[in-house]
Structure formats: structure tokens, C-alpha cells
Amino acid sequence: MADKPKDQKFKFPMPETLAYPVQKVMINYEYEDLELHRLFSNEALAKRESMVQADLTRRSAHLSADEVSDFYADNADVHGEVFERLQVNSQLVLACSLFEHQLYSLCDGIKRRSNLPTFVSRKSGGTLGEAKKYLTHAGVKGLFDLKIWSDVQTIFKVRNAVVHNNLELRNDEDLDKDLLKKLMSDPNLKHKLYLDLDKEPYLYEFSLSDAYLQDAFAKLKTMIFAVADYRLYPDADADNS
């Protein structure tokens, strides 16, 4: 629990936790919405796959076995493989955007109830790093040493790889070897290796699974509630009385 800085004049109308109770209710609603979106997307993808497969079966009925194989290979985009991957990836981007918004809002709550001038911006450096700096400055201690925070950072690295490279890691001087190690050891991720002429991997292609999304959503929710439930300056009412 943090000691209150002498130059701080907090105006907390209720000092129990960093977030108001209604904020916690809304955060919980947002994660329920996120889960509903995941289920709806899965249902839509399954329905689409069934429809596309029926259509492709009709279109390829006159082809030989080899021609059918070539037909599917040449129409990967059509029968859903690429679209499905992009759809699943988008759910992780959505979850991370939601987490950033919630973290931003909690920091904003501190600013509005205190005289802390520094605030989180969405400039270079990222919301995670700036929010950590701001919350630490406000007096939050211990949360960012927890394993769950490290897990969240990894999730955001995966999110960045999704946005910038469609979750493909090239084996070059810019390769994040620590991230590659974590991805290769994650049972909830599928991966393909592309080898060069020397049979060395030059590209690692990863695909998110539904199990990965569920695990990521749970970790993001656990971390945001750890922040929301933090008891910041519980003596604030006594000081302001």
C-alpha cells in the first residue's frame, strides 16, 4: 500500500479502490460483450465454412482428385482460410484496444480526482508503458511486478505482430527471439515454418486459436481488475475532512 506524497491533495469521494464501483460494473459488462463477440464470430465462421464447402463441392464435382487439390490450393482465400485467420486475429486486436481504453480511463480517474499533472497520452511509447509510469507515480506499487503484467505485455507483443506482420516473424536481425520462444512454446498457437535452400527457417507463421483468445481475454480481465481494485491512499477521506 502506498504512502501518500506530502504534496498530493487527493479529492477521492470514496477511497476504497482506484475505480468507482460503477466503473467495475461497466468493465465487467465490456468483457461480457467481448465474450459474446467471440462466440458470435465463431458461429458465423462455422456457418460460412459449411456454406463455402458445399459450394466448392458442387463446383469441383467434375474434377479429378489432383485437380480438386489444385482447385483448393488456388482458392485458399475463397474457401475461408485467410478470412478466418484475419477474423480471429481481429478479436485479439479488439481485446487489446478495450484493455487500453479501460487502463486509460482508470488513469484519467486519478487525474480528475487529484493534482497529478502528468497524464497518459497515446503518443509513441504505447499506452502500457505510459500507464505504468503514471500509476507508479500516483502511488501504485507491486502490480507491475506480477506475472500477469508480464503476460499482458506478451499479449500486446502478439497484438503488434498481428497488426504489422499478420503474425509472421522473419528470421532476420529484427527478430524478437524472446517473443519467438514464447510463441513456439504456447500450445494454443499453431505455427508453420518456411525453410530456405539451406533448410534453415526464414519465416515463422503463427495462427491464433480460440483457446488462445479465451486465455488472453481472461488475463487482460484479471489485470485490469487488479488495477481497478487497487486500494490507493485509503486515508484520503480523513485527510480531506
Range scoring the smallest mean pLDDT among 5-9, 68-72, 205-209: 5-9
pLDDT of 120 strictly over 70:
no
Q: Tell me how far apart the alpha carbons of residues 209 and 89 are, in angstroms, rounded to a whole number.
A: 9
Range scoring the smallest mean pLDDT among 7-11, 102-106, 108-112, 151-155: 7-11
Indicate the domain borders of the chain.
21-236
Q: Tell me how far apart the alpha carbons of residues 105 and 98 are, in angstroms, rounded to a whole number.
A: 11
Q: Tell me how far apart the alpha carbons of residues 84 and 95 are, in angstroms, rounded to a whole number.
A: 17
Q: Tell me how far apart the alpha carbons of residues 96 and 160 are, in angstroms, rounded to a whole number.
A: 10
List phi, psi (to 5°) of 208: -75, 145
pLDDT for 155 equals 96
Q: Tell me how far apart the alpha carbons of residues 90 and 162 are, in angstroms, rounded to a whole number.
A: 8
**Can you tell me the mean pLDDT for 19-42?**
91
pLDDT for 139 equals 84
Comparison of pLDDT for 199 and 117, the residue scoring more = 199
Identify which of 66-80, 136-150, 227-241 has the greatest average pLDDT: 136-150
Confidence tier at 156 by pLDDT (50, 70, 90): very high
